[in-house]
Structure formats: structure tokens, C-alpha cells
Amino acid sequence: MDEGEVQAKRRQNEEDATARRAHILGMIYLDTREFERDIPLTVGVISKEQMHKDFIIPLQEGDEVRPYQFMVTSQTPSSAIDKIETDYSSRGLRTEFYLISNSAYQVFMLRHDPPMQVHYDDIEIASEGDSETIQQVSKTLDSVSTDKVFDYLLNQADKLGSSDIHIENMRDVIRIRMRVDGILHPVAEISRDKYRIFMGELSSRANVSTASMKPQSGHMQMDIHRDGASHVLNIRVEMVPTMYGHDAVLRLFNFDESLLNLDLLGITKEERDAIEEIISHPRGLVLMVGPTGSGKSTTLYSILNALNTTERKIITLEDPIEYGIPGISQIPIATNEGGSFAEALRSVLRLDPDVVMVGEIRDGDTARTAIQASITGHLVLSSFHANSTSAAFSRMIDLIGVNPIFSSSIRLLIAQRLVRRLDDNKEAYHPDESTVRYIRQVLEGVDLSKYDFDLNNITLWREKPSEESPFGFNGRTAIMEQLIVSEPVQKFIRGDVRDINTNEIEKTARAEGMLTLEQKGVLAALRGDTTIDEIGRVI
């Protein structure tokens, strides 16, 4: 999905949400997309200051016959609407109000009150050793006005689809790198003057201190407006003191509720069906496992979004809250200030939720509380640090001991990694004999009848860089290992089997039909979704 399609989908979802809100409020919904950029503006009815303050736009100037028409948003105070109605009716004039989306409001306001704009060159990511690109971007950053440099970097990172920005102090310069599709790319080197301005703005917005000599965490949000659509960029800030100053990593979470969708994870129909079958039950425990940056949170939120209906009460406990989802009660847990997932979970269970998400199981107390909740009529989702689903079982048993209740509560474990997806402009090739042997070895015992692969004539794909896609990749896709807890697997958890180790659990799960991360990765390479080298790098 290219950027234009993503923006259009974001806008469509926002319009759908606005239409639902208008129905609830008993207002008339207005979709302005067909005319918002070229309809003549109605000026002189209300001031620009009031348009900004009350989120209201005049649509039609009325008279004794025609009503005055105004467009309002969900942020418009009801007192502002009441005042306009009263003022106009006292003069014998009628008024009509239409509910529009926030994106529509932004488009109209940019026409009514266009900002003074200076256009800077877009940032391009550089390959290793590409000093010319780095110098060019560094020069652009030096030209950006001091009060805009922070917003410029964040906006450019979002435009590139970067997951994080790294600000790193070196002896002579400050290096900026951006992670795109899981790979760090050098972007620019900035002077210490720009660095001080950047860090000053960062400390103000994220509530961190540049004077502290301890590691700090912060959080901030930024509204991004681009091509007639808008979205909220959530930014988690991690800052540590180093030899030459404070290094910072800004993790970017591009909040877009429409993209938190199981259909958009890039998983197969079988994987999707397995998840939906498990979460259709009213109780049980579902664990996402994997390292930081493997997409666990996005998958968990996509599952929550699928469950988010008016009939269900959903509560999340998070440290910190990464995405805000309407209709879900989300509770921040400050574990660095003494907060406890286990204590908070015991409290929220009194609110009778149907579904609870615990951001992460880190200790035995939280694990036991989550297990207890999952067998008393709650569906519990959580994440857990382990390399694979089988390793997660071993780690959980180490954490809480052999626990028969755990065997009846755990329903599904999902281990996940993110690999770079090949661009459509990819190149097919026949691998060498050692690669063929490796593929056959990994897929040994896998039923390949439902796949369109011929292991006697293997074709793989590799990246083909182009001007539009300089690295030959476009986004990332999830590789997912799913362990559905069956009776043979439960025996390990109950203690029926003495030898509780990762290899034996994995062997049993594979006999039950589970495909490992490596097998899923090789199948993705055979489909042409990614490269065999990328599977080796990530998995």
C-alpha cells in the first residue's frame, strides 16, 4: 500500500467515525472531500480567531430566507453553537450546523488562514559510505530555522516511515540516524548549536531533563497533517547520559486506528483464522513473544481492535500507552515509579472487564494474576520476552513453576519477527546448491501440498534497487509462529513430562502441525515476500 492509499484509508476511517458520531449526537454529517479544496470560501461571517478557538467554519452566508450554515467538529464547544444560534435567532435569522471531520476542518483552515511557509528539501536516507547525501541533509538541517528543526525532523521521519530517530553524541559532531524497515540509516551530522536547540525542545515537550545524569523516559505527541489527512504521531523518548552529552532515541508510533487491523499485518488466512478462533472464546490467555521491535504491540492492538465492540468491556494496562483507541479503557502503569502490573490487574478485575490486555508479563506475581484472571471468565492478552513460543513455555515455568492452572488457561502463543518486504521491482534467481540444501532441511516434514513450490526447482527473489526504491524493499511484513496449546503440549505444563525443555516442547508442537519462525520465514522467501538473506538476518 503506497502513501497515497494509506492517507486515503486514514481519511475514510476518520469520515466513517465522524458519521457515527453525528448519528449519536443527532447532527447532520457532512463529507466535504469532493469540494473542500475548491468551494469558494465564506468570509466575513466570523473571525479567524473564532474559527481557531471554537473549531467552527462558515459554510454559507444566509439572509432572511436562507439559513446561515456552519461546519463544526467534535472539538467545537456546545456553548459556542448555542451562542451563535441565540445571536442569530434574536435577529430573526436561521442557522444550520453540520458535523465534519477534523481533517476536513484542517483543510478549510489552511485555506482561510494559510501559514507562512518555507519549503525545505525532503530528507533522503543514505547508504553506507554515502557521504554526499549525509552532507546535503546536514546542510538542509543547518538551513532550517531554529524553532522548526525539531518539528522538521519528526515530520521527515514520519514521511520516510521511520520507526525511530537516534540522536548520538560523537566527539566533534552529533550524528542523526533513522531506522527504516528495521535498518538504521545515517541521515545527517549536526552542529552542537542545533543539538542544544533540539534537546531543549525535546526536554520541554517530553518532560525530561538535559541536566539529569540518570537514564530517563518521556512521551509526547505530534499532529501530522499531510495531503488532506491528519494523524497523531506518538513518540516515546529514551535519553541516557554519555561521554559527550545526552544521547536520545525517539520511538515513533504512527497512530492510525485504521491500520491496527488483522487484515493489514501481512499474515496468511490460516494464521488469521487461528487467532480469530481463539479470541472468539470468552476466556483464556494469549501471549505474544519476541524481542523489542518485533511488532508485538501492533499485533496485540490489532487483536484488541477486532474485539472492540459495544458489547465488550476492554481494559488495558500499559507502560506506556502506545496507541489510544476509542472505546477501550486504557490505564498507564508507571512501573519506574513503583507501579505494578499485578496490583493494577487485581484492581481492574473488579470492574468486570471481558477482555484485559497487560502490556508485559515481567514477574511471577503478574503471571499468576493474569493466569487466574484468564480462568475466571476473562480473555487476557499480554506480551512476554522469549525467542520462540517453545522458549516462552520454558521461561514461564521457570517464573511460576509447574502450574496445572496455567495449562488450562493458556490458549495461544504467538512468536513474531518483522522482515523487510521486497519491492514489486524484485529479481528472480535460482539459488546455489548450499542454499537449496538449507531450504530442504528447514522444510523437512512440512506438508507442502498446499503451497505452489517445487523443491526440485527452487526460485528465490532478491532486491533490485531503483530510483523509487533505493534499497529494493518497501515496508515490513510479519513472520509469525503460532503454538495452539493442545493436549500433548499441556502435558509439559502440568508436569506430566519430566523433561521440560524448549526442544522437546517444540518437537511436540511441530508434530501437532506448528511451523517454526524459521520455516515460516523460508516459506515467505519462497513466496517472494522477502529474501533468504533477510530471513537469516532477522530469524
Q: Looking at residues 352-368, what average pLDDT do you find?
A: 93
**Maximum CA pair distance of the chain?**
88
pLDDT for 448 equals 87
Task: Kindly indicate the confidence band of residue 155, based on its pLDDT and cuts at 50, 70 and 90.
Answer: confident
**Which region among 223-227, 271-275, 338-342, 459-463 has the lowest average model confidence (pLDDT)?**
223-227
The single residue listed with the C-alpha cell 553506507 is 128
pLDDT for 402 equals 82
As a whole number, the mean pLDDT across the chain is 86
pLDDT for 118 equals 44
Q: Buried (b) or exposed (e) across 216-244, using 16+ Cβ within 10 A?
A: bebbbebebeeebbbbebbbbbbbebeee
Cβ-contact 265, 299 below 8 angstroms: yes
DSSP summary character for residue 515: P
pTM above 0.85, yes or no: no
Q: Measured between alpha carbons, how far is 356 from 378 in angstroms, rounded to an integer?
A: 7
Count of other CB atoms within 10 angstroms of residue 459: 12
Which of 409, 395, 404 shows the shortest CA–CA distance to 496? 404
Query: pLDDT: is 430 or 155 the higher one?
Result: 430
User: What are the DSSP calls for 147-167, one per residue?
Assistant: TTHHHHHHHHHHHHTEEEEEE
Q: Measured between alpha carbons, how far is 420 from 325 in angstroms, rounded to an integer?
A: 27
Query: pLDDT: is 233 or 240 the higher one?
Result: 240
Residue 250 has pLDDT above 50, yes or no: yes
Q: What are 17-59's pLDDT values in tens digits?
A: 899 999 988 999 999 999 998 899 999 999 988 998 899 999 9
Cβ-contact 512, 489 below 8 angstroms: yes
Q: Measured between alpha carbons, how far is 344 from 321 in angstroms, rounded to an integer?
A: 15
Phi, psi angle pair for 3, to nearest 5°: -60, -40
**Which region among 223-232, 325-334, 428-437 has the lowest average model confidence (pLDDT)?**
223-232
pLDDT for 313 equals 95
